[in-house]
Structure formats: C-alpha cells, structure tokens
Amino acid sequence: MINPSLSDNEKLTKLIKLIKEEGTLSEITENEIISLFESRGEKAVKALRENRLHKLILNERIAIWEIEGTSGNYILIDNNYCECKDFQIRVLSRGEKTLCYHLLAKIIGEELQHYNLKKISNEDYNQIIKDKISE
C-alpha cells in the first residue's frame, strides 16, 4: 500500500512503478489508484474500464489525446493540461490539486497502452482545432 499522504507527483511515481510490475489494470492496481486518488481514482478507473480514452494520430509526430468526460469530450495536452472545468478551477485557479481525473486516466492509460487508437486526417485534425478555438 502506497502512503496516501504523499503529493500527487509522488503518488504517480509509485503508481507507475506498480503499473509496470502488474502490466495491466488489475484489481490490485485499481484498488491502489482508488486508495491514492479517492474519487478522482474511481472516475479514472471507470473511464478506462469504459474505454473512453482516445489517442488520435495525425502522423508519427502529432497525436491528440481525448477523453470522454461526463460533460463532454476533453483534449489533454501531455500530462500537464486538461480543458475540463475541474482542471481550470481546482488546478490552475485554486492550486488545490495537480491533476483532474481525466489526466490521471490518461497517464495510467498511456502507461498500460489502454486506449482507443484512431488515425485522423488533416481535415479531422483541423476541425478539432477549429472547434476548440471557437468554443
């Protein structure tokens, strides 16, 4: 059991080590995620179990990560940014957390290679960017 009083970054480091050892989203891993991240962990596990994480590939250098959230689909940038309101308010504005459940799911899903992979065209990519800019 990982110490839940650790910072999110320390928790993630230890969690990634466990994920590498387990190699899958096992019951042990799920329980540890939930133990460490509580409701964020529950939501992240649920998103992964429901296959709501997507890696949209434009070419070998450009990919967009997207997750289906409860209020819409969100673009994720690296492991550092999510466009959801929770991230905007609790992470960026208030500094209460360092990540939302969408980013947690992305980090775990990427490590486990547990995501939907879809090749997109230049037109699809441009439309995604255009839609996000016009929101």
| One pLDDT digit (tens) per residue for the chain, 135 residues | 555 578 888 999 989 999 889 888 889 999 999 999 999 999 999 999 999 999 999 998 999 999 999 888 999 998 999 999 999 999 999 988 899 999 999 999 999 999 999 999 999 999 988 988 877
Give me the residue label for tokens 């110490």.
Answer: 3
User: How many Å separate Cα 117 from the centre of its chain?
Assistant: 15
Beta-ladder partners of 56? 64, 118
- Is the CA virtual torsion 53, 32, 94, 107 positive or negative? negative
Which CA distances in Å does 46 have to 53, 58, 101, 104?
Answer: 11, 27, 10, 11
pTM reported for the whole predicted model: 0.90
- Is the CA virtual torsion 74, 99, 50, 46 positive or negative? negative
- pLDDT of 88 reads 94
The CA-CA-CA angle for residues 57, 79, 82, to 5°, reads 85
- pLDDT of 133 reads 84
- pLDDT of 4 reads 54
Q: E strands along the chain, which residues?
A: 53-57, 63-69, 72-77, 81-82, 116-119
